[in-house]
C-alpha cells in the first residue's frame, strides 16, 4: 500500500489504476474470509481504508483542477 504522499504524487490515470487494483484485492480478501480460507478479517478493513485514501486523493485532484480552471476565467 502506498503512503498518502505517494498517492498525492500520482497522476489521475495512475490513481484510477491503483483504485481498480485495490478494489479487486478487497473483493478477493472478502471472498477468502467468507469461504473460511482466511480468518484474519482486519485485511478487509485495511483495504477499505486504502480505497478511501485513493478516492480522497482523486477528489483533491478534481478540486485542484476546478480551482485552476476558475482562476483562468478571471
At 19 the pLDDT is 98
pTM of the shown model: 0.88
Tell me: the pLDDT tens digits for 29-74? 999 999 999 888 999 999 999 999 999 999 999 999 999 888 876 5
- Per domain, the residue ranges of the chain are 11-73
**Using CA atoms, how far apart are residues 59 and 16, in angstroms rounded to an integer?**
12
Whole-angstrom Cα distance, residue 2 to residue 53? 10
**What pLDDT score does 47 carry?**
96
Contact present, 18 and 10 (Cβ < 8 Å)? yes
Amino acid at each position: 500500500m502506498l503512503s498518502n504522499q505517494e498517492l498525492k504524487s500520482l497522476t489521475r490515470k495512475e490513481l484510477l489504476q491503483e483504485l481498480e487494483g485495490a478494489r479487486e484485492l478487497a473483493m478477493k480478501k472478502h471472498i477468502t474470509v467468507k469461504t473460511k480460507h482466511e480468518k484474519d478479517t482486519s485485511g478487509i478493513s485495511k483495504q477499505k481504508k486504502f480505497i478511501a485514501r485513493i478516492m480522497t486523493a482523486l477528489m483533491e485532484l478534481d478540486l485542484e483542477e476546478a480551482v485552476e480552471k476558475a482562476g483562468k476565467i478571471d
